[in-house]
Structure 1
Amino acid sequence: MSPALRHLVLGLALLLAPAAPAELVVGPSENAAAASAELQTPESRRLSSPEKYGVHPANRAANAGKSGAGADSGLLQGVLGPLAVVLVLIGMLAGLVVLIARIRGGSRGSLSASFGAGGRAPAGIMEVLGRYPLAHGLTLVLLKLDRRVLLLSQTRNGRLGGFSLSTICELDSAEDVASILLKVRDAENASLTHKFASVFRSLDREAADKIQNLDGKVMTTIAPAPTPPSRSRGASQISSERQTSFGSDPSPQTDSINSLRSRLEALRVPAARHVRGPRS
């Protein structure tokens, strides 16, 4: 809001404010004068007892109560009416001021609106690299502005006041800016490395605890006992079962036994022929 509009609103408020008390004073004074006039009239004075003229005291009390209620209603009307008028005028002035501010802001390219909370704030232009508190209410701020680095002093203006910034020095040399940015990045990487290392250490600790818990427990498996062959079976049946079991076992030991058996059978046949001799 511009100073001219602010002064205009304050002046109108000051002009309209005394109107309400003046109207408030007029209402009760007239009612009080009317009541005093009624009391001072000759007809209201009592010359003798009320029963003599047919006026009962209860009726007089009821009439007095009605007159008091009428005075209270007049007082409320005298207060609420001017107050409503003042509030309506203040609302109209506030709306007019807002409308004028919007029109002026649109004609200037919304420059005043960009300074408010709805202004643009693109990322990557300004970046706070670090903050170094020195004392109560005094902090050094390292601010990166495009290709420059600024060292600012941030101070607090009282307990309820805001903050104020002042520039201490400005670094625009490429070597200085690169050195500062490199140190900042190294500090960030070191912090990330420390975080990862702490996570890995916690995981290793959990794994070691689980292994220690498993070492105290003995895992045993009991194989089922083989069923002995029944006596009713013959030797041929037992041998055939053994042969089928050897043939069905796909282990390399079974293969070697089968190959050895085949070789023995091959050697046994020529030896038997040599013992029998040629036929005459």
Structure 2
Amino acid sequence: MIDDAARLIGREWAAFLELLGGSSWDSPTRLAGWTVEDLARHVHWGMTLEADALEIAAGSDDGHVDGHGGAVHGGTSVGERRAAGVDLEGPRDQIVPALRRARARLLAALAAVPTEPGTVLPMPYGDVPLELGLQVFVMEAAVHRSDLAHAVGADGLLAPDAHAAAATVLQAFWPALAAAAVATPPPGTAFLLRGTTVRVEVEYDGAGWGPPSGPPAVVVSGDDDAVLLAGYGRVPMDAAPVRVEGDRALARRLKEFVPGP
């Protein structure tokens, strides 16, 4: 479990760093209002957050981390705080070196985290079982590498071996993501995102999202990559190479109902 996740995470972040070498900091990304620089600084925050969670779980945490991805001693003891990411400030020429250090720290933390049953990661939004947390980390690396690749005109597809993690995370965190929505579909509306090997299905019952109780009002189907990129809002539903069955107006509003990540 750890070895596979570490391999994927390390590979995707290495590819992200390589893509940065051929990009302009001011280039827009497909994330509304974000430039390549904004994305890179966010990625630093995310990698340091993930490393921090793993270090706390391993009992090796010494406090918080500085703006360069390194540990700062004198913080709270293990069990008394939630993981925290580090905002990367400073000039642009510090971004890539800081990202390299954050990646190295994350991989070291992955190698040290305990794998026995019951291990949880103290994420800011609550304790997350290690196995699910690892899938979140794989998804983040794969999706943000895809975001940067798209911004620089490279292949923006998700890595096939990251599809399962991306689908699992979207299914598991759908209710949490929907909590930030400013709109909801009619009660009883179910969505089915059906790829070649992945499947995400949920229903809004008027109070929240949960397992479907009936046939879906919207079915989005296609290859895994197209379905996942549409589900994560990386491409508009009408522009994605997917097939939409049922209520197309509701399909187009999917990210109004489930914004982010």
Task: Give TM-score, length-normalised by structure 2.
Answer: 0.19
Larger proportion of helix: 1
- Larger C-alpha radius of gyration, 1 or 2? 1
Task: Give TM-score, length-normalised by structure 1.
Answer: 0.18
